A = this chain, B = another copy of it.
Amino acid sequence: MEFKDIVMQRYATKKFDGRKIEDAKIKALFELIRYAPSALNVQPWKIKVVTDQKVKEQLKPATWNQEQITTCSHLLVFCANTDFKGLIERLERLLKQAKMPEDVAKMVMGMARDYFLKIPPEAQLAMAQHHVFLALGNALNGAKSLGFDSCPMGGFDPKEYSRILGLPSTLVPTMLCPVGYAADRPMPKLRFPKEEIFF
Protein backbone atom coordinates (compact mmCIF):
# COMPACT_ATOMS: atom_id res chain seq x y z
CA MET A 1 0.00 0.00 0.00
CA GLU A 2 1.43 3.38 -1.01
CA PHE A 3 2.05 5.87 1.80
CA LYS A 4 -0.17 8.40 0.00
CA ASP A 5 -3.08 5.94 0.15
CA ILE A 6 -2.41 5.23 3.82
CA VAL A 7 -2.51 8.94 4.64
CA MET A 8 -5.72 9.50 2.67
CA GLN A 9 -7.55 6.38 3.89
CA ARG A 10 -6.62 6.58 7.57
CA TYR A 11 -9.32 8.19 9.66
CA ALA A 12 -10.28 8.62 13.32
CA THR A 13 -12.49 5.58 13.77
CA LYS A 14 -15.31 6.27 16.23
CA LYS A 15 -16.50 2.68 16.65
CA PHE A 16 -14.81 -0.69 16.20
CA ASP A 17 -16.54 -4.05 15.62
CA GLY A 18 -14.89 -5.82 18.58
CA ARG A 19 -12.93 -8.32 16.49
CA LYS A 20 -9.45 -9.16 17.74
CA ILE A 21 -6.47 -8.21 15.61
CA GLU A 22 -4.26 -11.20 14.86
CA ASP A 23 -1.15 -11.47 16.99
CA ALA A 24 1.29 -11.27 14.06
CA LYS A 25 -0.29 -8.02 12.90
CA ILE A 26 -0.16 -6.43 16.34
CA LYS A 27 3.48 -7.42 16.64
CA ALA A 28 4.15 -5.83 13.24
CA LEU A 29 2.44 -2.64 14.46
CA PHE A 30 4.62 -2.58 17.57
CA GLU A 31 7.73 -2.72 15.38
CA LEU A 32 6.53 0.30 13.37
CA ILE A 33 6.02 2.21 16.60
CA ARG A 34 9.30 1.08 18.12
CA TYR A 35 11.27 2.35 15.12
CA ALA A 36 9.84 5.89 15.25
CA PRO A 37 12.51 8.60 15.32
CA SER A 38 13.61 10.49 18.43
CA ALA A 39 16.20 13.14 19.26
CA LEU A 40 19.56 11.45 19.81
CA ASN A 41 17.63 8.16 19.73
CA VAL A 42 16.46 8.58 23.34
CA GLN A 43 13.02 6.97 22.70
CA PRO A 44 11.18 8.68 25.58
CA TRP A 45 8.00 6.64 25.38
CA LYS A 46 6.37 3.53 26.79
CA ILE A 47 3.12 2.03 25.63
CA LYS A 48 0.69 0.27 27.93
CA VAL A 49 -1.32 -2.31 25.99
CA VAL A 50 -4.84 -2.92 27.32
CA THR A 51 -6.83 -5.90 26.05
CA ASP A 52 -8.76 -6.93 29.19
CA GLN A 53 -12.41 -5.96 28.66
CA LYS A 54 -12.94 -5.25 32.37
CA VAL A 55 -10.06 -2.75 32.39
CA LYS A 56 -11.41 -1.10 29.25
CA GLU A 57 -14.81 -0.72 30.96
CA GLN A 58 -13.08 0.95 33.90
CA LEU A 59 -11.22 3.34 31.59
CA LYS A 60 -14.25 4.31 29.52
CA PRO A 61 -15.70 6.86 32.01
CA ALA A 62 -12.26 8.52 32.12
CA THR A 63 -12.49 8.91 28.33
CA TRP A 64 -15.78 10.84 28.03
CA ASN A 65 -17.50 7.45 27.71
CA GLN A 66 -16.37 7.15 24.11
CA GLU A 67 -17.03 3.70 22.74
CA GLN A 68 -13.74 3.32 20.88
CA ILE A 69 -12.33 2.28 24.27
CA THR A 70 -14.59 -0.75 24.75
CA THR A 71 -15.11 -1.77 21.11
CA CYS A 72 -11.43 -1.76 20.04
CA SER A 73 -9.23 -4.83 19.91
CA HIS A 74 -6.19 -3.34 21.66
CA LEU A 75 -6.07 -0.01 23.48
CA LEU A 76 -2.60 1.50 23.30
CA VAL A 77 -1.91 4.08 26.03
CA PHE A 78 1.02 6.17 24.80
CA CYS A 79 2.98 7.41 27.80
CA ALA A 80 5.74 10.00 27.88
CA ASN A 81 8.70 8.47 29.70
CA THR A 82 10.21 11.32 31.73
CA ASP A 83 12.97 9.22 33.31
CA PHE A 84 15.66 10.69 31.06
CA LYS A 85 18.43 9.57 33.39
CA GLY A 86 17.29 5.97 33.01
CA LEU A 87 16.77 6.39 29.26
CA ILE A 88 20.29 7.74 28.80
CA GLU A 89 21.77 4.83 30.78
CA ARG A 90 19.86 2.38 28.61
CA LEU A 91 21.00 4.22 25.48
CA GLU A 92 24.60 3.93 26.65
CA ARG A 93 24.20 0.16 27.07
CA LEU A 94 22.55 -0.07 23.63
CA LEU A 95 25.46 1.73 21.95
CA LYS A 96 27.97 -0.52 23.73
CA GLN A 97 26.12 -3.69 22.71
CA ALA A 98 26.05 -2.46 19.10
CA LYS A 99 29.82 -1.89 19.33
CA MET A 100 29.55 1.72 18.21
CA PRO A 101 33.07 3.26 18.05
CA GLU A 102 33.86 4.58 21.52
CA ASP A 103 34.56 8.17 20.47
CA VAL A 104 31.22 8.41 18.62
CA ALA A 105 29.34 6.85 21.55
CA LYS A 106 31.03 9.25 23.97
CA MET A 107 30.05 12.25 21.85
CA VAL A 108 26.43 11.08 21.54
CA MET A 109 26.15 10.44 25.29
CA GLY A 110 27.63 13.85 26.10
CA MET A 111 25.14 15.54 23.80
CA ALA A 112 22.26 13.52 25.27
CA ARG A 113 23.21 14.52 28.84
CA ASP A 114 23.51 18.19 27.85
CA TYR A 115 20.27 18.15 25.88
CA PHE A 116 17.99 16.22 28.24
CA LEU A 117 19.41 16.43 31.77
CA LYS A 118 20.18 20.15 31.99
CA ILE A 119 16.60 21.30 31.52
CA PRO A 120 13.84 21.66 34.15
CA PRO A 121 11.34 18.81 34.72
CA GLU A 122 8.55 20.68 32.87
CA ALA A 123 10.77 20.95 29.79
CA GLN A 124 11.68 17.26 30.08
CA LEU A 125 8.00 16.32 30.19
CA ALA A 126 7.24 18.57 27.19
CA MET A 127 10.08 17.00 25.22
CA ALA A 128 9.00 13.46 26.04
CA GLN A 129 5.42 14.30 25.09
CA HIS A 130 6.49 15.80 21.76
CA HIS A 131 8.19 12.53 20.89
CA VAL A 132 5.11 10.51 21.80
CA PHE A 133 3.37 12.15 18.84
CA LEU A 134 6.01 10.82 16.44
CA ALA A 135 5.50 7.29 17.77
CA LEU A 136 1.73 7.83 17.63
CA GLY A 137 1.95 8.93 13.99
CA ASN A 138 3.64 5.65 13.11
CA ALA A 139 0.87 3.78 14.95
CA LEU A 140 -1.92 5.56 13.05
CA ASN A 141 -0.36 5.17 9.62
CA GLY A 142 0.97 1.74 10.57
CA ALA A 143 -2.46 0.39 11.50
CA LYS A 144 -3.86 1.35 8.10
CA SER A 145 -0.81 -0.13 6.34
CA LEU A 146 -1.52 -3.44 8.12
CA GLY A 147 -5.21 -3.44 7.20
CA PHE A 148 -6.92 -2.25 10.35
CA ASP A 149 -8.07 1.02 11.90
CA SER A 150 -7.20 3.40 14.71
CA CYS A 151 -8.22 6.58 16.48
CA PRO A 152 -5.95 9.21 18.03
CA MET A 153 -7.57 10.36 21.28
CA GLY A 154 -6.44 13.21 23.53
CA GLY A 155 -9.72 13.64 25.42
CA PHE A 156 -9.17 11.58 28.57
CA ASP A 157 -8.21 12.00 32.21
CA PRO A 158 -4.51 11.11 32.51
CA LYS A 159 -4.64 10.96 36.32
CA GLU A 160 -7.47 8.44 36.25
CA TYR A 161 -5.61 6.42 33.64
CA SER A 162 -2.50 6.41 35.85
CA ARG A 163 -4.54 5.29 38.84
CA ILE A 164 -6.49 2.54 37.06
CA LEU A 165 -3.45 1.19 35.23
CA GLY A 166 -1.12 1.57 38.22
CA LEU A 167 1.45 3.57 36.26
CA PRO A 168 4.61 4.90 37.93
CA SER A 169 4.87 8.69 38.22
CA THR A 170 7.65 8.83 35.58
CA LEU A 171 5.18 7.66 32.92
CA VAL A 172 2.65 10.30 31.84
CA PRO A 173 -0.30 9.07 29.73
CA THR A 174 -0.28 11.48 26.78
CA MET A 175 -2.37 10.03 23.94
CA LEU A 176 -4.59 7.01 23.41
CA CYS A 177 -4.65 4.89 20.29
CA PRO A 178 -7.35 2.24 20.22
CA VAL A 179 -6.89 -0.10 17.24
CA GLY A 180 -9.25 -2.61 15.68
CA TYR A 181 -11.57 -3.08 12.72
CA ALA A 182 -13.89 -0.16 12.00
CA ALA A 183 -17.65 -0.47 12.46
CA ASP A 184 -18.28 3.05 11.18
CA ARG A 185 -17.54 4.94 7.97
CA PRO A 186 -15.13 7.80 7.41
CA MET A 187 -16.39 11.35 7.02
CA PRO A 188 -15.08 13.32 4.00
CA LYS A 189 -11.45 14.34 4.58
CA LEU A 190 -11.42 18.14 4.79
CA ARG A 191 -8.32 20.27 5.13
CA PHE A 192 -7.41 23.96 4.88
CA PRO A 193 -6.15 24.90 1.39
CA LYS A 194 -2.41 24.50 0.91
CA GLU A 195 -1.97 28.26 0.49
CA GLU A 196 -3.08 28.66 4.11
CA ILE A 197 -0.56 26.12 5.40
CA PHE A 198 2.64 26.61 3.36
CA PHE A 199 4.21 30.04 2.99
Q: Indicate how many identical chains form the complex.
A: 2
Flag whether A172 is at the interface (Cβ < 8 A).
no
Cβ–Cβ < 8 Å partners of A33 in chain B: 197
Q: Binary interface profile of A, 139-167, with partner B (CB < 8 Å = 1, else 0)?
A: 01110010000001011000000000000
Contacts of A131 in B (CB 8 A): 133
**Interface-located stretch among A16-24, A36-44, A55-63, A65-73:** A36-44
Contact of A37 with B49 in the complex, beta carbons under 8 Å: no
Residues on B with C-beta less than 8 A from A115 are 155
Tell me if B34 and A190 are in contact (CB < 8 A).
Answer: no
What is the 8 Å Cβ interface bit string for chain A, positions 161-199, against chain B (1 contact, 0 not)?
A: 000000000000000000000000000111110101111
- Inter-chain CA distance A142–B192, complex, in Å, is 19
Select which of B90, B126, B145, B192 is within 8 A of A126 by beta carbon: B126
A197 engages B137 (CB within 8 Å): no
B37 contacts A12, C-beta separation under 8 Å: yes
Contacts of A190 in B (CB 8 A): 41, 94-95, 98
Residues of B within 8 A of A1 (CB): 2-3
Bound-complex Cα distance A36 to B197 (A): 12
Whether the pair B4, A3 counts as a contact (CB closer than 8 A) is no
CB distance from A148 to the nearest CB of B (A): 13
Q: Measuring CB to CB, which residues of chain A are less than 8 angstroms from any residue of chain B?
A: 1-4, 6-8, 10, 12, 28, 30-37, 39, 41, 43, 45-49, 90, 94-95, 98, 115, 126, 129-131, 133-134, 136-138, 140-142, 145, 152, 154-155, 188-192, 194, 196-199
Query: Can you show 5 pairs from A to B with CB atoms below 8 A apart?
Result: A3-B6, A7-B138, A8-B35, A30-B197, A134-B152
